[in-house]
Structure 1
Amino acid sequence: MRNLNRRISTRYKNLRIKYKLIVFISILLIVCLTFIIIGFQYAFNSYDEQIYRKSSQVLIMSSNRIEDELKNIEEVTYKIMGDDVIQNALLRSKDNSLTKYDQYQIEKEIWETLTSYIGSEKYIQSIHLFDRFGKEYRAGGVPSPNLYDHKDEMITKAEKGNGSNVWISLEGSKNSIFSTRQLKSYENLSLEKLGTLVIDVKLHEIVKELPKEWEDQEGYIAISEGDEIFFSEGNSTNVDKLDFTASDKQGYQIQNIYGRSFFVTYSKSPYANWTYWNVLPFGTMFAKVTMIKFLVIFLFLAISISSIYLVIRFSKRITNPIENLVSAMKFVQKGDFKLTENFTPSQYQDEVGMLHQNFFVMIERINQLINENYEKQLLIKDTEFKALQSQINPHFLYNTLESINWLAKVNQQHQISKMVESLGYLLRNAISLKDDVITVEQEVEMVEHYVTIQKFRFEERLEFSLVMDDKVKNAKLPKLILQPLVENAIHYALEMMIEPCEIRLLAYKEGDKLHLIVEDNGPGMDEEQLELVKKGEIKTRGNGIGLRNIDSRIKFVFGPEYGLQIDSEVNKGTKVRIVIPYQTRWDYV
């Protein structure tokens, strides 16, 4: 191996300068192209993960929306089952001595009642009520064509449900799903069978109104029970060819059918034991990215070929005079000193021209220039790479958050908008290096934005209250000493509790000192655990600012007599107090 490397090195060293430049530039371009391809592959993998996260979120939201509508319809079946008019009418219909007028009255009462329930839900196609003799009472629009073909099957499944709601999908009714429930008499708690209720639900209308994940894409949503698809959106001709088997709760797959790739996201739901599938054509999703990829590679190849061509032209302009000089020197080595009569000096006033004056000195200078050129090329590439790295600016993050906030407002997602605004405020103030010292009012505002975000997470479990004396609003203090205390209260109090947790923030002046208190009614700590916390021997969760860090900052700025105090009792909560000098002007460095 060493001999091979030595031969290659020797062969390279013996090449003419113009060929050395061509080889060097070619290797450099190949290395750059390799890094570009690796970067594209990494970007595609990251893009896959982003698509999966977005598809999973949209799919879960869509499944929740579908199930909410189905639960509403299930509630309608429950109301119909307990409706007094329906109960009385079905009990009266058992009487064999009824006249035709009485039967007409019963049919009218049932029809009017069922019609009133249809108006309560826009996704109900029709309602069918079969009494125990098989007679049908119907209200609504035209039912699915094969409903009556599977009438006995639905009645049997409803009986197995024993009064609970049962969802049934029928082969050939891809746009509908049926809710069935057995009706029983509540009179004297006899629980006598009165009939079977069947509601034809327009499942395709529910799915049609779901928000689309990718605009102008030919994707669709499918729903399966076990390994069998009972609903698919639109004219999905290839749905039967896809593999709808999933071992885990949620995930994604990339499947190929007839030369086309599909990005398939799935999520299992405990409701009715269904699995929701979101199928998107992989090619259309990556059409623009793939086009950019090939465009960049094409441009790179074009630039590479042009660079090699220019290097050849440039190297010839340099090496031709040198080759002429070498040829001339060979004559000189042979002792042919008449060369000066036939040798034409270089017309350029550069290093090559100086070679004609002093051969040995010029050879040394050319070697130095070549080495310097190599080093400069490497330095330029390294400088360009570092310059690209330094272009990542926090303003990109801020602008992205503003875009998310705008989209949330447009789509009436007020909670998302509020969270993004609060997160943007926190990031701007946390990342900003302009002011290390702020007012109490500004620090409290950061805490309020942080609590706003946490409230969307914990909802009613988080109860936050603020008591701040107006006199201390303009008092100065180091940035980020209150928000970590509230964060610790949430981690070690709220997250450990099932019932609501109250976190209080107090700020007041006492003499010439400023008191800042964060207290909670959480589980608290015993004396041994509290002592470990004060010594900083308990590792905090997450990557936040620890209590010992805050205490050290305060003592470093104001002196050892100030700092942070912790009081806690088991089952009575924890109180953290910060005491610093009260001042509206910052006199510390």
Structure 2
Amino acid sequence: MKNKITNFVLYLHNMYNNSKIKYKLITIISIIMLICLLFTVVGFQFAFNMYDQQIYRKSSQVLIMSSKQIEDELTNIEELSFNILKDSVLQSHLTRTKEEISKYEQFQIESEIWEKLTSFIGNEKYIQSIYLYDQSGREYRAGSNHSKRIDKMKDVLIDKAVGGNGSNVWVSDAKTNNYIYSTRQIKAYKNLSLEFLATLIIEVNLDEIIKELPKVWDGHEGGIIISNRQGPFYREENIFNYEHLVYSTADSQGYFIQKVKGRSFFITYFQSPYSDWTYWNIIPFGSMFAKVTAMKYIVIFIFLLLYSGAIFLAVKFSRHITNPIENLVSSMKNVQQGDFNISETLKLHDYGEKDEVGILHHNFYTMIERINELIKENYEKQLLIKDTEFKALQSQINPHFLYNTLESINWLAKINKQQQISNMVESLGYLLRNAISIKEDVITLREEIEIVNHYVTIQKFRFEERLNFNLYIDEQVLDCKLPKLIIQPLVENSINYGLESMIECCHISVSAYKADGNIHLIVEDNGVGIDENQISKIIKGNVNSKGNGIGIKNIDSRIKLVFGEEYGVKIESTLNLGTKVIIVIPCETR
């Protein structure tokens, strides 16, 4: 793993070193901007954590205050239930219900109990209704209309009261629509008989109590949830998705952040010893951090704007530096390929500044002009030297004397009817005229083939049946131009290295055809062949040709000089099977 990381770092380092200056500048600015963004994000995160702590402290304080206020109200209701329990009028009437009384007396008792219960409700705005159930199951009620909730909860409430054995019991359930119930047994305290008289049930509207509590958050969402061991039994109306929240905690007080259906909630909780309830304060993150989130996006937008501006200025500034350098690099590549005629191009991109780049640009331009002058001077000197050497060579032999002598030999051979001698002399004269002539260095393929034919004519008189020569020339390439004496030396090599090393007949063929706009010239023999190492030496010019002939390296160089580096000579050979020399040049007729 460590080696992979090291290799990756080295790869990035090399990639950075090999990249252009403008990309390096953009990379450095991007790294600086990203570091600034990182510090900004860390600062934001630290601020958010501090903000979370502040909200937790505030919400915890409010939650504890709210729970205390709720429990104070419930304590008041407990005291009210105790006052009802010990009221002498109710004790008397409930005791009489156990006796045999008339319907009128029963009606009178019900009226007085209702009046008494109504007086107890008084200004208690949180009490929805008060119910009494005597030992016969008869119901006495004061407050709002008859509640179906009491009908459903009656048996449970009575059972809870029995379990309380005279003490107050709070009953809460999620099905009671935010209502809770205080229930207890009323027993006769006259003579301390503690005889069961009735079951007291007080229905309390918890919503009315909650509405009076201070709000932790001013948003439209969030609020308080109250739960017991069975789960939540009360929630404010503007809390959504409360059923998906987790209502289990390890501590008696704290906070956490929970995500429900793609939304995050900030939840503070407090476990109260009163009735074993837990109070939950739910605040949606969207409401709580609306301004903070907006500010975060504004900062990100400003960062992107600054980053784009910095990159724009970096690119513009880098172009001011790199464009002249890139033009200079392009010119250097042309010089590397041998093109020194770039002074006019450099003038078009003349960099007028006098800074380091301008000085480099000016010095390179001056250097190229000086190199051009030196090349021109050297070229003229080489031409003069070659011309002098060639004229010195020509002066050694008088061409007219040589031609006249050959004509005399040819005339004498014809008089004596020696046709072979006559043909040889004619071919030799043609070869000498073409070899010595300096009018043109580029001739047509037709003229080159004629030179080859005259050369082969002379060689056939020498080798007779041992030499089998064939021509396969496509007529459409006969007028194409090629450097003088590039096929004849190859035929000569086939004879020198192939025929002279063989006892049997040597087959030499010259073929020419056109393909893809190029001429393909092939000289092939069935000689002894050449091994790969020898071919490599021949191509590099490390092997001298027999006698004073023209080597393959010389032919290849002349072709490249005239037509370009993509053209030249290729050798294919197999030992004891033969050799094939392939020349590819463009088909040019002018």
TM-score (norm 1): 0.54
* 2:33 aligns with one of 21, 29, 32: 29
Mapped contact 1:328–1:339 kept (Cα < 8 A): no
Aligned 8 A contact 1:143 1:200 in 2: no
User: Which residue among 148, 169, 185 is the counterpart of 1:145?
Assistant: 148
Equivalent runs, 1:472-487 vs 2, <5 Å: none
Offset at 1:308?
1.0
Q: Report the Cα offset of residue 183 of structure 1.
A: 0.8
Distance 1:63 1:91 in 2: 39
1: CA distance, partners of 2:216 / 2:306: 38
2:53 corresponds to 1:49: yes
1:130 to 2:133 alignment: yes
Query: C-alpha offsets along residues 14-41 of structure 1, whole Å, 9 cap, x if unaligned?
Result: 6554333222112111222222333333
Provide the rounded CA distance (Å) in 2 between the counterparts of 1:342 and 1:279.
74
Deviations 1:451-496 (A, max 9, x none): xxxxxxxxxxxxxxxxxxxxxxxxxxxxxxxxxxxxxxxxxxxxxx
| 1:200 aligned onto 2:200 | no
The question of whether the paired residues in 1 share the 8 Å contact of 2:181 and 2:203 is answered with: yes
Q: After superposition, where does 1:100-249 map in structure 2 within 5 Å?
A: 100-170=103-173, 172-234=175-237, 236=239, 238-249=241-252
Bigger mean CA deviation after superposition, 151-160 or 64-73: 151-160
Tell me the distance in 2 between the aligned counterparts of 1:163 and 1:277: 31
User: Once the two structures are superposed, what CA deviation does each residue of 1:159-185 show, in whole Å capped at 9, x if it has no partner?
Assistant: 211111001124531221110111111
SS, match of residue 147 in structure 1: helix
2:86 aligned to which of 59, 82, 85: 82
* 1:261 matched residue in structure 2: 264
1: CA distance, partners of 2:242 / 2:23: 58
Cα distance change, pair 171–147 in 1 and its aligned pair in 2 (3 A): farther
Mapped contact 1:158–1:165 kept (Cα < 8 A)? yes
Q: CA deviation at 1:216?
A: 2.6
Alignment-derived partner of residue 40 in structure 1:
44
Counterpart Cα distance in 1 of 2:55 and 2:289: 11
Residue aligning to 1:523: none
1:144–1:238: structure 2 CA closer, same or farther, 3 Å change rule? farther
SS at match of 1:262: strand
Aligned with 1:240: secondary structure? Answer: helix
Cα deviation per residue 1:249-291 (whole Å; 9 max; x = unaligned)?
1222333333333333221110001111222323333333333
Larger Rg computed on CA atoms: 2
Alpha-carbon distance in 2 for matches of 1:44, 1:236: 24
SS at match of 1:122: coil
Secondary structure of 2:149 counterpart? coil
Deviation for aligned residue 1:106: 2.2
Residues 524-550 of structure 1 deviation map (CA, whole Å, 9 limit, x = unaligned): xxxxxxxxxxxxxxxxxxxxxxxxxxx
3-state SS in 2 of match to 1:172: helix
CA 139–6 in structure 1, closer or farther in 2 if over 3 Å, else same: closer
Q: Is the 8 A contact 2:127 2:203 kept in 1?
A: yes
Task: Give the aligned partner of residue 449 of structure 2.
Answer: none
| Inter-CA distance 3–279: structure 2 relative to 1 (3 Å threshold) | closer
Q: Percent identity?
A: 55
Decide whether the 8 Å contact of 2:324 with 2:361 is kept in 1: no
Give 3-state SS (helix, strand or coil) of 1:263's partner: strand
2: distance between equivalents of 1:156 and 1:283? 45
Distance 1:283 1:340, change over 3 A: closer
Corresponding residue for residue 584 of structure 2: none
Using structure 2 for the length normalisation, give the TM-score: 0.54
Distance (whole Å) between structure 1 residues aligned to residue 11 and residue 156 of structure 2: 84
CA RMSD of superposed structures (Å): 3.4
Paired position in structure 2 for 1:70: 74
Query: Partner residue of 1:310?
Result: 313
Q: 1:142 to 1:20 in 2, by over 3 A?
A: same
| Aligned residues of 2:221 and 2:238 also touching (Cα < 8 A) | no
Unpaired segments of 5 or more residues in structure 2? 365-590
1:163–1:184 contact (8 Å) kept in structure 2: yes
Residue matched to 2:97:
93
Residues 275 and 322 of structure 1: is their aligned pair in 2 closer, same or farther, counting only changes over 3 Å? same
Measure the CA separation in 1 of the matches of 2:334 and 2:152. 108
Structure 1: which amino acid aligns with 2:126?
Answer: Y
8 A contact 1:221–1:278 mirrored in 2 = yes
Alignment correspondent of 1:530? none
* Distance (whole Å) between structure 2 residues aligned to residue 101 and residue 14 of structure 1: 111
